Amino acid sequence: MASITLADLAEKLGAELHGDGSVTISSIAGMDKAAEGQITFLSSSKYRKHLAECKASAVMVKEADLAYCSGNALVMRDPYLGYALTAQLLDTTPACATDIAPSAYVSPTAILGEGVSVGHNAVIEDGVTLGDNVQIGAGCFVGKNAVLGANTRLWANVTIYHNVRMGESCLIQAGAVIGSDGFGYANDKGRWVKIPQVGTVVIGDRVEIGACTTIDRGALDDTIISDGVIIDNQCQIAHNVQIGENTAIAGATVMAGSLKSASTVLLVVRVSLTAIWKSQMALQSPAWQW
């Protein structure tokens, strides 16, 4: 298990230490359950009354709440952000894969960077490029000529279709499908005629995509997911959608084809953005849908 002294943690967070810097922190817990060796956080002053009963070895607080702490404290502007950064430092999540599993298939024409790992029964097709330290979980499929940037991770059973391009440090949760055909058809006297979807999906750096989310490839142009976008589980992103930088999309959201969002848009709680909006739909920054 990872651990860190309170002094070292304060330095990494840019926080002001009050108390014993030699105390060792091994994990994080909520204020009502935290015990010795753990750190907790107070992000809202309305809960400061609970500080007196808190048994954590340290608490992350704002300056205004420091006087209510009886033990060790790290003072910072945003304790909730401190919680997120501390959780990263103490993260014990295992790797998606280690080494190249004997049951994995890696095409001899694929280009693998340093430190690439491919899990059991995964398939890496012809012409694929995997950057340094890419992790491909068990049962994944990476289609022809796809490109995954350095430090990108795919959990189990992710499907990446042909020609998809993904940036660095992306995280794709289990069961996601990226690059499947968009819903494109012409009608010939009542008979549906499929339109081949010849665009692809282009994903920027630091993008996170939730479990069982689907992102369709473009019909002619590409579907674009910009840097820093986070998409929750079970979302549908249709063909030719363009999502601006640092947009957050919560679970079960559906974005119909060709919709565009600006940067730092927040879509939450089963939003459905349909084709009816297309003529007027260019979500501006910031925007919220509840």
**Active site positions, annotated:** 239
> Which residues is 272 bridged to in the sheet?
254
Q: Distance of CA 255 to CAs 197, 204, 235, 258, 272, Å?
A: 17, 18, 8, 9, 6
CA 176 to mean position of chain CA atoms: 12
Cα Dmax for the chain: 78
> Which residues is 148 bridged to in the sheet?
130, 166
Identify which of 36, 46, 40 has the alpha carbon closest to the alpha carbon of residue 61. Answer: 40
Q: Where are the alpha helices (DSSP H) in 90-159?
A: none
> Which pairing describes strands 129-130 and 147-148: parallel, antiparallel, or unpaired?
parallel
Q: How far apart are the first and last CA of the chain?
A: 39
How far is residue 184's CA from residue 196's CA, in Å, rounded to a whole number? 8
